[in-house]
Chains A and B, each alone.
Chain A
Amino acid sequence: DAMVIQNPRYQVTQFGKPVTLSCSQTLNHNVMYWYQQKSSQAPKLLFHYYDKDFNNEADTPDNFQSRRPNTSFCFLDIRSPGLGDAAMYLCATSKGQSTDTQYFGPGTRLTVL
C-alpha cells in the first residue's frame, strides 16, 4: 500500500564517504522532489525532477547530486558528506499540476560520523 518508499530508513556514513539514498514511487507521478530537514527546522527543497528535467535550487551545494533513471525511481547522491549534512532526507512526489498535493515518503535519517 506504500506509495512513496525510501530506502534505507536509517543510514550511517563516515565523513567524506559517498552515500546514496533511494526513493521509489508507485503513483506514476511526473515530479519527484528531494528535501533536507535538519532537527527542528523547516524542510528545504534541494532539487526536483519534472519527468526527466532536473531543477536544482540555487543554494543547493554541489556536493548533492540526483539521478532519475525512470519514472519510479530517484536517487540522492552525497559525494563527500560532512558533519553538517546529517539530517532527515525526504522524498516527495506530485502529478505536476499546479493544484497538486505533494506526497511524502517516510524519510531517511542520515548520520555522519
Chain B
Amino acid sequence: KQEVTQIPAALSVPEGENLVLNCSFTDSAIYNLQWFRQDPGKGLTSLLLIQSSQREQTSGRLNASLDKSSGRSTLYIAASQPGDSATYLCAVRKGSGSEKLVFGKGTKLTVNP
C-alpha cells in the first residue's frame, strides 16, 4: 500500500529565506508526482507535476525534484514571501491506468514578514 509522508508538518521562516519541503513515498512504482498548495478552508491548486521519467520541474520561484528510486521529492521555494504561506501537499499517482492520487498530509508553511 502506497504511503506518502511529508516532513516537517509545519515550518516557519522569515521572509526572503530559501526553503525546502520534503515528500517521501514507500512504493517507487509511481507514474507521476504532483505538488499542490492549499490555502486555509480552500481547495487545492496544482503547482508542479513531475512525470516519473523526469528529474525536476520549475515554475517561477518553485523547483520540484524527483528521485523515484529512493522514493523522494523536494519542493524548493526561493526568496520566500508572506504570500507563500499555505499548506503544501504532495501526491503520487499509482500507475498508468490508475486515476488515484495518494496524498501526504502536507507541510504548513508560514513566512513571517
Contacts and interface: CB of A to CB of B under 8 A. Distances in A.
A42 B105 contact: yes
A102 B31 CA distance: 14
Interface residues of B, number: 26
A107 B43 CA distance: 5
Nearest to A50: B99
A105 B4 CA distance: 23
Interface stretch (A12-20, A67-75, A78-86, A93-101): A93-101
Interface of B, helix, strand, loop or mixed by DSSP: strand
A33 B104 contact: no
Contact of B99 (A6, A48, A101, A106): A48
Interface of A, helix, strand, loop or mixed by DSSP: strand
A50 B104 CA distance: 24
Contacts of B100: 45, 48, 57
B63 interface: no
B44 interface: yes
A98 B44 contact: no
B44 A104 contact: yes
B93 to A, nearest CB: 8
A43 B44 contact: yes
Contacts of A55: 99
B25 interface: no
